[in-house]
Structure 1
Amino acid sequence: MRKVIKKVALFSLPLFVACGSKEPVNEAPTVVNLVYPTQNLLCIDNSISFDWSDATDPNKDKVSYKVEIAKNRELTNIAKTQTANTSQATIILEKDVAYYWRVTAIDSKGKESEPSSVFAFYTKAEGESNIAPFTAELVKPVDESAVDGLAVTLEWKGADSNTGDTLTYDVYFGEDAIPTTIKEEGISVTSIQVTVESGKTYYWKVNTIDNAGAKSIGQVWSFKVN
């Protein structure tokens, strides 16, 4: 009787080990780097060969790519979305438009990487000599973040596909969700310091103007003071 019980126990052990095994966790692919169009590029042709680095997948899954092209830096006004199986895609866009693009890698199980950085470019119209600058790019404070202190530095980046242009900025700042009060006008620097009060939420935007008078209206950003 003892021998029978011993054999049953030995045969049961491999079954117990097999039942205790786990499926490997599905990890997201790596973030890609944008190659072309480069940041703030002026594109003569509106048929553009987009290019980015290959993503790798920790689980060796097959990777595809989601290309998003928008008419605003925040990518809420999407002009075109396209899926590609390689790290290149040719896409035809409108002429005379400022675009912003990014790429997200997706594995075969649907797991997405973090989106790439966002690059801006411009498709030039026929015979056009001056082009409006790109909308200002936020540096700090992070949009909808909470900050400490009673003095906050607002910082942004400006860019123009007409590389010879000189840019100036109008900065709107206040407690209204759509800021209408100009804090600074016609400045050439890309940061200012503002005085704030604890417990309040502030809104701001930066309009960018080139030396020919062409203007880009900025996105509204906000932050709350602890």
Structure 2
Amino acid sequence: MKFTVAEPPNEPTNETPTNNSENVLINIVLNWTCVDPDPGDKLSYDVYFGKISPPEKVGEGNQSETSYNPGLLDHLTSYYWRIVAWDKTGNYTSGPIWNFETRQNQPPNEPTNPDPENGSTNISIDKVLSWSGGDPDPGETVTYDVYFGSSNPPSKVVDNHSATSYDPPGSLDYVTIYYWKIVAWDNHSASSVGPLWNFSTGMEPNQQPNIPTSPTPLNNSIDVPVNIDLTWSGGDPDVGDTVTYDVYFGTSSSPPLEENNQSELLFTPDPLAYSTPYYWRIVAWDNHGASSEGPLWIFTTIAEGNQPPNIPSNPSPANGFLGTSIDVGLSWTGGDPNGDTVLYDVYFGVLNPPLKVIYNQSAISYNPPGSLEYETVYYWKIIAWDDVGESSTGPIWNFTTRSEFNRPPNIPTSESPRNGSTNVKVNSDISWVGGDPDPGDNVSYDVYFGTTSPPQKKVENQSAIYYDPGTLGYT
């Protein structure tokens, strides 16, 4: 009778990493090869691995694969390992103890690929910055310090930032050079400093002037006086832009150019013909050459004949005036387009609407009897009558008399930036709320400002309630 004795597996060989290797990656996967001299025998393996020699068994053993993943290892550390091979009959062969040393920690990758590119121009004021980073060591976490601003070198604006992008708060300034750099840190406190990059923002885009609107006389008006001023509303959406106007005016539906490059929102034509339709259009131009054409407007003048008196205008004191003398005299502008004699009814008092105090006077002035009350609102209006019984009623005007005793100005309040504010922009203006309790009083301000307490006087006797200290220093 013959039988065969099973032989144990061959010794494991061809280890990876090879024995005594150095500078091994910390995410290395261990590999080996092993065969059995008995055909058809399937092998299994016990893995011994660790920082001490001899190493301890890891896992449950009896694995069929010829590889083992120990996970992320420590930097610059010696590891020991060996493999025990088993066949199906229980024979085994233990391999030698191998060792290797992992590489030392590598600093993060130097930040690259800036967006916007270094030296870029005409960049949007809402641009988000981004870059490429990372780390050559597997499994490392990298954070970033961001330096950014319009000064060179820029100041740190955020640290320990995990994203490879940064959105500056708010919008940037137009036509400004910005500088930035990124410092990368790994979780072992190793760092890499990126280069200093820069870009410049573009010019503020120009917008067309506002389309002229709100014509006087209104479009399609009739019975318009032959002595009339044409007015309209204009302007420009871009702060600081200047606007001029071309006036087209005439009796044809394609009116000719009568005035160009005027800054006023008013045009006074020569006296017009009676019972005649007139056409007009305004074209607005800004100082960048952009234009906006208004619609074609039309009105028809009054038929020849008696016209009512001119509407009383140009009140003195001016409507809404504060701080009027208690012995003020009232006056206005009147007249009649037909040259008729005009008489006036005067309404005056503290009630609104005011009561009639005199009628049928020819003068264009009125002196209230006695002195008025201090700090009191008075209302008044004028009705003009011609000698054929036509009338024109003026608007209700008002003024406020002055205080009897002068009081000090209001204590400045509502400061901006608020007291104790932080992270204030270096190009911020300071402003406040002031004023005076006495109607009509003018107030001026002395501004004290600086980095010491108390601050030094910077400007005196200014009327504005704001002050521009220039570009401030960063904290």
TM-score, normalised on structure 1? 0.58
Corresponding residue of 2:437: none
Residue of structure 1 equivalent to 2:392: 216
- Deviations 1:84-133 (CA, angstroms, capped at 9, x unpaired): 4xxxx4x144xxxxxxxxxxxxxxxxxxxxxxxxxxxx6126xxx42221
Tell me what 2:293 maps to: 64
> Which residue identity lines up with residue 48 of structure 1 in the other structure?
Y
Distance between the aligned counterparts of 1:190 and 1:175, measured in 2? Answer: 21
The farther-off stretch of 214-223 and 200-209 is 214-223
Aligned partners of 2:287 and 2:315: how far apart in 1?
32
CA displacement, residues 28-73 of structure 1 (integer Å, 9 cap, x when unaligned)? 523244132x5xx574114123478x755223220334xxxxxxxx
CA offsets 1:156-189 (integer angstroms, 9 cap, x no match): 1113221x3111211110111111232x322222
Contact 1:154 1:192 in 2 (8 A): yes
In structure 2, the residue matched to 1:34 is 267
1:168 counterpart letter in structure 2 = L
Task: Check conservation: 1:155, 1:192, Cα contact below 8 A.
Answer: yes
2:378–2:400 CA contact under 8 A, matched in 1? yes
- State the match for 2:200 in structure 1: 19
The one-letter code sitting in structure 1 at the alignment partner of 2:319 is D
Match of 2:313 in 1: 137
Q: Are the counterparts in 1 of residues 351 and 378 from structure 2 also a CA contact under 8 Å?
A: yes
**Contact kept? 1:45, 1:124, Cα under 8 Å:** yes
Q: Taking structure 1 as reference, are residues 158 and 42 closer, same or farther at Cα in structure 2, changes over 3 Å only?
A: farther
What's the counterpart of residue 53 of structure 2? none
Deviation at 1:220, TM superposition (A): 1.0
Which residue in the other structure is 1:114 paired with?
none
Q: What's the CA shift for 1:153?
A: 2.8
Number of aligned residue pairs: give it. Answer: 160
Alpha-carbon distance between aligned partners in 2 of 1:193 and 1:57, rounded to the nearest angstrom: 47
* TM-score (normalizing by structure 2): 0.30
Structure 2 match to 1:161:
337
Q: 1:186 is aligned with what amino acid?
A: N
SS in 2 for 1:19: strand
Matched-pair contact (CA < 8 Å) for 1:35–1:51: no
**RCO higher in structure (CA 8 A, sep ≥6):** 1
Shift, 1:14, TM fit? 5.3
- Gaps of at least 5 residues in structure 2 are 1-113, 122-175, 178-198, 207-237, 244-262, 403-475
Distance 1:221 1:214 in 2: 22
Greater share of residues in helix: 1
Classify 1:180/1:148 alpha carbon distance in 2 versus 1 (closer, same or farther; 3 Å).
Answer: closer
Q: Is the CA contact 2:380–2:398 (under 8 Å) kept in the aligned structure 1?
A: yes
The structure having more radius of gyration, on CA atoms, is 2
Distance change (3 Å), C-alpha of 1:213 and 1:42: farther
C-alpha distance in 2, partners of 1:218/1:32? 23
- Higher mean alpha-carbon deviation, 54-63 vs 129-138, is at 54-63
Corresponding position: 1:124 with 2:303: yes
SS at match of 2:337: coil
Contact 1:42 1:161 in 2 (8 A): no
3-state SS of paired residue (1:152)? coil
Alignment map for 1:32-181 (pairs within 5 Å) = 32-36=265-269, 38=270, 41=271, 43-50=273-280, 56-65=285-294, 83-84=295-296, 89=297, 91-93=298-300, 123-124=302-303, 129-162=305-338, 164-181=339-356
| Secondary structure of the structure 1 residue equivalent to 2:308 | coil
Q: Is 2:436 aligned against 1:203?
A: no
The Cα RMSD (Å) is 3.1
1:72 aligns with none
Q: Against the structure 1 CA distance between its residues 57 and 171, is the aligned structure 2 distance closer, same or farther, given a 3 Å change threshold?
A: same
| Separation in structure 1 between the aligned mates of residue 394 and residue 342 of structure 2, nearest angstrom | 14
Question: How far did 1:22 drift?
Answer: 4.4
Residues 134, 158 of structure 1: 8 Å contact kept: yes
Contact 1:172-1:179 at 8 Å conserved across structures: yes
One-letter amino acid of the counterpart of residue 49, structure 1: Y
Gaps of 5+ in 1: 1-7, 66-82, 94-121
Q: Which stretch of structure 1 is more off in the superposition, 211-220 or 12-21?
A: 12-21
